[in-house]
């Protein structure tokens, strides 16, 4: 009896592994094709055959010769890093005001934050574009960074995190004569670290892949971020599938590294964002 339950369990597990294996393979095949194609010669790309006849490592160097790829890399990195830093700082501060302080109109203001999260991005995109034109920030780093740095979502996420911290901690700090700033820095921020990390990773990944805003804002080649640079490379440099795949592979490295390092926090953050409170 006991052993039959066990064998049944083993069969179930085998079935589970097979199905999960099939899904994983389906997920991986496009990436694998991208990897292999990035090492092929252009003539070879269109021919049947899976492995490159000869591994053309020079494809990767060729990308840098044809387009200012390192500049795109730098731009993407710089913009995403600034947006992440500003978003985390301003969201943490406002989340503190919403979660750990009582003031008149607090809940009404918070409700307004929540309400705007439902508004489609395109609604605010058009006036934001008009504002940036007015401020003469079209085609500039500032124009790329500043409008993306104040997040209602970030405030919401961190508020949810901070509100679960026991109130007794602030009260103890208050009795010790700590100012709100001290409480913020020395009591709440250390506890909120996992939340900050989650928001940081989500923001970085989101902004690194950001497409719409840079697309309408950036006109000069030297300010292009990776997605815009790749779009341009794909559209205006003829069909060079092997090179565009090499560029694609390189553009995937930073998010992959970040994911490997911060996997735990990222997954937590996504699950946390869904908890309404």
Partner 1 sequence: MKRRLTRLAPLPFLLPNLVGFMVFTAGPVVFSLASSFTNWNLQRPGQTSLIGTQNFTEIWGDPKFWLSFINTVYLMLGIPASIAFSLWLAILLNRKMKGNETLKALLFLPSVTSGVAIMILWKNLYNPDFGPINAAIEGFFHSVGFGNIHGPQWLSSTQNPLSLDVEKVGLAPKQFGVGARDALNLLGIWAAIGGSNMLLYLAGLANVPEDLIEAAQVDGAGKWACFRKITWPQLAPTTFFIVVMSIIGGLQGGFETARVMTNGGPSGTTTTIAYYIYNKAFEAYQIGYASAVSWLLFAIILVFTIFNWKFGQTEGTV
Q: How far is the CB of 138 from partner 1 (least distance, A)?
A: 12
Query: Which H, E and C letters describe the chain, residue by residue?
Result: CHHHHHHHHHHHHHHHHHHHHHHHHHHHHHHHHHHHHCCCCHHHHCCCCCCCCCCCCHHHHHHHHHCCHHHHHHHHHHHHHHHHHHHHHHHHHHHHHHHHCCCCCHHHHHHHHHHHCCCCHHHHHHHHHHHHHHCCCCCCHHHHHHHHCCCHHHHHHHHHHHHCCCCHHHHHHHHCCCCHHHHHHHHHHHHCHHHHHHHHHHHHHHHHCCCHHHHHHCCCHHHCCHHHHHHHHHHHCCCCHHHHHHHHHHHHHHHHHHHHHHHHHHHHHHHHHCCCC
Are 255 and 208 in contact, with CB atoms under 8 Å apart?
A: yes
Q: How far is the CB of 165 from partner 1 (least distance, A)?
A: 15
* Site for partner 1 contains 141 (CB under 8 A): no
Site string for partner 1, 246-275 (x = CB under 8 A): -xx--xx--xx-xxx--x---x--xx--x-
* Site for partner 1 contains 241 (CB under 8 A): yes
* Site for partner 1 contains 131 (CB under 8 A): yes
* Site for partner 1 contains 208 (CB under 8 A): yes
Q: Which of 114, 163, 172, 215 binds partner 1 (CB under 8 A)?
A: 215
Among the residue ranges 67-75, 123-131, 164-172, 191-199, the one whose residues contact partner 1 (CB under 8 A): 123-131
Q: Which of 6, 20, 57, 186 binds partner 1 (CB under 8 A)?
A: 20
- Residue 228: which of 121, 119, 102, 68 has the closest Cα? 68
Residue 1 CB neighbours (<10 A): 5
Q: Which of 79, 145, 157, 244 binds partner 1 (CB under 8 A)?
A: 244
Question: How many of the chain's residues bind partner 1 (CB under 8 A)?
Answer: 86
Q: Which of 73, 226, 240, 265 binds partner 1 (CB under 8 A)?
A: 226
* Nearer residue to partner 1 within complex by CB, 15 or 55: 15
Q: How far is the CB of 36 from partner 1 (least distance, A)?
A: 10
The residues in 52-111 that bind partner 1, with binding defined as CB under 8 A, are 89-91, 93-94, 96-98, 101, 103, 106, 109
Q: How far is the CB of 234 from partner 1 (least distance, A)?
A: 5
The residues in 142-201 that bind partner 1, with binding defined as CB under 8 A, are 146-147, 149-152, 155, 180, 184
Are 209 and 5 in contact, with CB atoms under 8 Å apart?
A: no
Q: How far is the CB of 48 from partner 1 (least distance, A)?
A: 6
* Site for partner 1 contains 234 (CB under 8 A): yes
């Amino acid at each position: 009896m006991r052993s039959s339950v066990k064998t049944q369990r083993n069969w179930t597990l085998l079935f589970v592994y097979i199905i999960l294996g099939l899904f994983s393979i389906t997920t991986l095949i496009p990436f694998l094709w991208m990897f292999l194609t990035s090492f092929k010669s252009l003539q070879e790309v269109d021919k049947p055959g899976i492995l490159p006849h000869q591994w053309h490592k020079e494809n990767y160097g060729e990308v840098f010769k044809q387009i200012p790829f390192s500049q795109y890399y730098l731009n993407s990195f710089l913009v995403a890093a600034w947006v992440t830093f500003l978003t985390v700082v301003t969201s943490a501060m406002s989340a503190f005001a919403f979660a750990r302080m009582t003031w008149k109109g607090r809940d009404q203001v918070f409700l307004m934050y929540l309400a705007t999260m439902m508004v489609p991005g395109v609604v605010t995109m058009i006036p934001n574009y008009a504002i940036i034109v007015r401020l003469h920030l079209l085609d500039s780093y500032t124009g790329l960074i500043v409008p993306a740095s104040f997040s209602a979502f970030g405030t919401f996420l961190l508020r949810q995190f901070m509100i679960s911290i026991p109130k007794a901690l602030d009260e103890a700090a208050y009795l010790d004569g700590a100012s709100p700033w001290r409480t913020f820095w020395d009591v709440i921020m250390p506890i909120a670290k996992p939340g900050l990390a989650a928001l940081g990773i989500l923001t970085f990944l989101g902004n690194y892949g950001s497409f719409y805003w840079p697309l309408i804002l950036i006109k000069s080649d030297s300010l292009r971020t990776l997605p815009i640079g790749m779009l341009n490379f794909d559209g205006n440099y003829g069909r060079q599938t092997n090179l565009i795949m090499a560029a694609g592979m390189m553009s995937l490295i930073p998010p992959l590294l970040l994911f490997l390092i911060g996997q735990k926090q990222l997954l937590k953050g996504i699950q946390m964002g869904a908890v309404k409170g």
